[in-house]
Structure 1
Amino acid sequence: MATTGTSAHLTAVPPQPRSPAPPPPTATLIGSVQRAVRLLETVAGHAYGAPAKQLARETGLALPTTYHLLRTLVHEGYLRRDKGLFFLGEAAERLSGSGARQKRRSKVVDTLARWRDAIGVPVYYAVYREGEIEVLCVSDTPGNPAVEEWADFRETGHAHAIGQCLLAQLDGAARRDHLSRYPVRPLTPYTVRDDHDLLRRLDRTRRMDLVTERQEYAPGTVCAAIPITVGATAASIALSLPAHQGDRLLPAAQHLQAELGRMLGSFALSISI
């Protein structure tokens, strides 16, 4: 009985090029940057400055390398040289200042979130700076959302508690200057009607009085604002509630005021975030 065989045809596959091995983690580090950073850190540890030879010894760098890096860092403003000693320069101090501001902002964010959760309301932080109302931080939740900014907060300070609170902390000339740029205009049936009425209201408000408004900025919303003054800076912590919870407004604001009073000293340091 004859059998028939089948033969397999093998096709040669060309060898595939190998992917290069990934570089070791340290291969992407730039040695000169590492040395410059080490030098900056060492200079920062000497409040009264240090000479190049001492810096070379403390960093473990060769003296020629140290001189080269010092010249570069002085040229870029990260160091300055005075009578043979090296100190941190203006560029390094700006970096340090930015880090401090970020730390202060983080403290404000964390504090507002804590108050938000403790009282169950959205919490706002605002300042009056260079003639403008600036809402710097808002902390809310899906269950307790912040007021929708349907009309620019900067232009409608006459209508919301934050703006009224900040304007109440200004002198008469600063108030009139603000209103010359952002005149009163009705937003709801409850909004103050004109500049004269607003100025009379502000005159009756003592500088550190709690300020409340009911549906003047947004229908269906009531708000309260607590003044904070540190030096020449006017600031405010505020909260909002739906109008049907209006009976909670004063107790919640008083709770927030008490919380603020307990930590005003440390919170005031964060005014300028």
Structure 2
Amino acid sequence: MGWHLTEDIDGFLARTGDFLRSRPALHTSQLTRLEQLRTNEEKGTVFGRLEEDGEVRAVCYRRPSQRLLLTAVAPEQADTLAAELDGEPVNGVTAEDDTAAAFAEAWQRRTGAVPVPGVRVRLHRLGTLVPPEPMPDGHPANALEHAEIVRWCSEFAVAVGQAPLTDERSWAASNFAAKQFTFWETDAPVAMAGSTPVLAGMVRVDPVYTPARFRGRGYAGAVTFAVSQAALAAGATDVVLYTDPGNVTSNALYRRLGYVPIANFTGYDFR
């Protein structure tokens, strides 16, 4: 009973796999990242599971120099996790809003570190897929050269304040490398959407990007529709995506396509 911490990812996944797969939409980030860590081990990553009555109730993991990622827990469970991690180099937490706040408060009580709210995202799950109206000119395309895909992803990274992709090493270490990419094309590519492989019946659409010069013409909706349709055709039962809660335009777009908000997440940095 209680939290169990380990650096053994294989043992961790053997014990927690059923729990992670039980709610694939809410556990989208854990499923995709843990699959990457399973195949490309990252030394120093700590994994945790909460067990009660012989059942896994929650999981967490902390990669070196990254925030702790935590599934939903009650405040008292967040407090016991903070006690287990006290003395470890925890520099932040990302979780559903209430869980993130509970852990941040518990960590501050124990360590004095001040939690500073950072990234906020909203998770949406696809209900009934609805084509955009009107559908813009063009068609989906998947056959771009690798160098062109890297260029688009690098442009997206810079647009959202991340470092550009400078070489194959930075590509391999990025969140883009394991994804498939679909482009909306007219005479040339005008919008891009990535998607994760199917894991536990879940596909996450990520990222969606339209260069500024092509915005306002419906291309983002068209490419998101195409990728969502392909995910369903591949057998996905949970198709999800994240948005910035403050971006009224993108939230309205995805709602029109059939996506329904299911949770909000907050990231805190500890100072």
Shorter-chain TM-score range? under 0.3
Higher relative contact order (CA closer than 8 Å, sequence separation 6+): 2
Select the structure that is richer in helix: 1
TM-score, normalised via structure 2 length: 0.24
Structure of higher CA gyration radius = 1
TM-score, normalised via structure 1 length: 0.23
Select the structure that is richer in strand: 2
